[in-house]
Chain A
Amino acid sequence: MNAKTDILSLPEEELVHPGSRACSGCGLSIVYRIGLKALGRDSILVVPPSCLTVLQGLYPIASTKLPSLNVTFASTAAAATGVLAALKALNREHTTVAAWAGDGGTADIGIQALSGACERGENFIFICYDNEAYMNTGVQRSGTTPQGVLTTTTPFSGKLQVSKDVPAIIAAHGVNYIATASASYPLDLFDKIVKAKDIQGVKYIHVHTPCPSGWGFEPQYAVKVGRLAVESGLYDLYEIEYSEWRLTGPSKRLLKKKRLPVEEYFKTQNRFKGLSKSRISEIQKQVDEKWKGYGDRSK
């Protein structure tokens, strides 16, 4: 699926006010701004503690023009369930319910409620903006932090474990739509959210979200860094729609193109300083294997 929407057909209306407390060059700001255009005005958002809480604003000012419910960290998917249940009871089911959680609120503390909601087939969109650490509290490691990354809780040796494959965990629940997206490819993200609105059950969208402050690069490279992750084949854009898997957009094009070496991506960010040459070539081999598998799968 190539992005059908182009820049000129993206809705012009901004659903976020400027002047938020998000960092300069924040990848989430791009994801959120474009994501809200896809969700539209008739939406209710659910937000656990995360960078988005800060972006949405401190009481009494809200940067978002949509109704939004702040909830406790572990409860995002349960709260989205509750909003839906009320909308159903009140005959207002036309309203889209979208949960926006960071990687912590999705894959770590939030995973129990999310798993329960998937199993129950709740009808909301769950967007995980993955900046690969607990950024809001100052860059501590999370379940999706890649192996080898330096964080404040893995300060010298880098994270020992590999990251959780959250889309695979969600896919194991048998939900109808799972997708990965990236802040650097807003049109692909936009189309996936629009598609998700018309599908029943939990729709899970995992968005790779570059973070200048936490990853250690200059703000102006936020989009470039995300692009390198995709163009090197490290981070892939795909969707699983009614169990059918397919690569999308730039990742699909990568089947027929030469991939950039993963080192090109790692060297842009201070957080990968601890990665040894041997580890990088290990990762390169894993990525090569993965793409060989994609090649077979896509035939």
Chain B
Amino acid sequence: MAKKIGQIVTSHGEPGPGDGGRTGSWRVLRPVIDLDRCVPVKKNKMACFICWMYCPDGVITRTIPPEIDYEYCKGCGICAEECPSRAINMIEESRFITEDE
């Protein structure tokens, strides 16, 4: 069969992060975990992790301590609102921007 047809070209998306770009740039407020209040950190055992469960973008890790991926965190504030220990504070993002950025 003579090759009259080349490679088939279709809209075929492959998995990868950042379809919306560096969505961390959306933030006006940044969630910061107070390790003195965070339950799994205080007890040093797997517990709570309500912030991990509710994070819409899955940017909090279920680890001790929980870590937030600021590259993609949109700053929605759900984690801070739902944390039962009020261990997450929403801080102005502008406080974290350094001169050379």
Distance in Å: Cβ of A243 to nearest Cβ of chain B? 32
A58 and B19 form a contact (CB under 8 A):
yes
Stretch at the interface among A97-105, A214-222, A281-289: A214-222
A19 and B17 form a contact (CB under 8 A):
yes
- Assess whether B65 is interfacial by the CB under 8 Å rule: no
A20 and B49 form a contact (CB under 8 A):
no
Distance in Å: Cβ of A23 to nearest Cβ of chain B? 8
A17 and B54 form a contact (CB under 8 A):
no
B56 and A25 form a contact (CB under 8 A):
yes
Please give the number of chain B residues whose Cβ is less than 8 angstroms from any Cβ of chain A in the complex: 40
- Assess whether A174 is interfacial by the CB under 8 Å rule: no
A19 and B23 form a contact (CB under 8 A):
yes
CB neighbours (8 Å) of B56 from chain A are 22, 24-27, 29-30, 33, 222
B78 and A59 form a contact (CB under 8 A):
no
Which residues of A, 15-70, contact B by the 8 Å Cβ criterion? 16-22, 24-27, 29-30, 33-34, 56-65
Size category, A interface = 35 or more
B57 and A20 form a contact (CB under 8 A):
yes
Which residues of A, 63-89, contact B by the 8 Å Cβ criterion? 63-65
**Dominant secondary structure at the B interface:** loop
Distance in Å: Cβ of B78 to nearest Cβ of chain A? 6
The CA of A218 and the CA of B76, in the complex, are separated in Å by 8
Q: A24-B74, A220-B77 are in contact. Are A62 and B15 (CB under 8 A)?
A: yes
CB neighbours (8 Å) of B19 from chain A are 17, 19-21, 57-58, 61-63
The CA of A61 and the CA of B76, in the complex, are separated in Å by 23
Distance in Å: Cβ of A22 to nearest Cβ of chain B? 7
A220 and B74 form a contact (CB under 8 A):
no
- Assess whether A198 is interfacial by the CB under 8 Å rule: no
CB neighbours (8 Å) of A26 from chain B are 56
Which residues of B, 53-67, contact A by the 8 Å Cβ criterion? 53-59, 62
B78 and A19 form a contact (CB under 8 A):
no
A224 and B15 form a contact (CB under 8 A):
no
Q: A25-B78, A26-B56, A222-B76 are in contact. Are A19 and B50 (CB under 8 A)?
A: no
* Contact for A219 among B59, B62, B71, B77, CB less than 8 A: B77
- Assess whether A169 is interfacial by the CB under 8 Å rule: no
Contact pattern, A 254-280, Cβ under 8 Å of B = 1, otherwise 0: 000000000000000000000000000
* Contact for B49 among A8, A30, A219, CB less than 8 A: A8
- Assess whether A244 is interfacial by the CB under 8 Å rule: no
The CA of A7 and the CA of B20, in the complex, are separated in Å by 28
Distance in Å: Cβ of B55 to nearest Cβ of chain A? 8
B58 and A24 form a contact (CB under 8 A):
no
Which residues of B, 66-97, contact A by the 8 Å Cβ criterion? 69, 71-72, 74-78, 80-82, 90
- A sample of 20 cross-chain residue pairs with beta-carbon separation below 8 angstroms, ordered by A number, consists of A7-B50, A18-B17, A19-B71, A21-B20, A24-B76, A25-B56, A30-B55, A57-B19, A59-B11, A59-B13, A60-B13, A62-B13, A63-B16, A65-B15, A186-B54, A219-B76, A220-B90, A221-B81, A223-B54, A223-B81
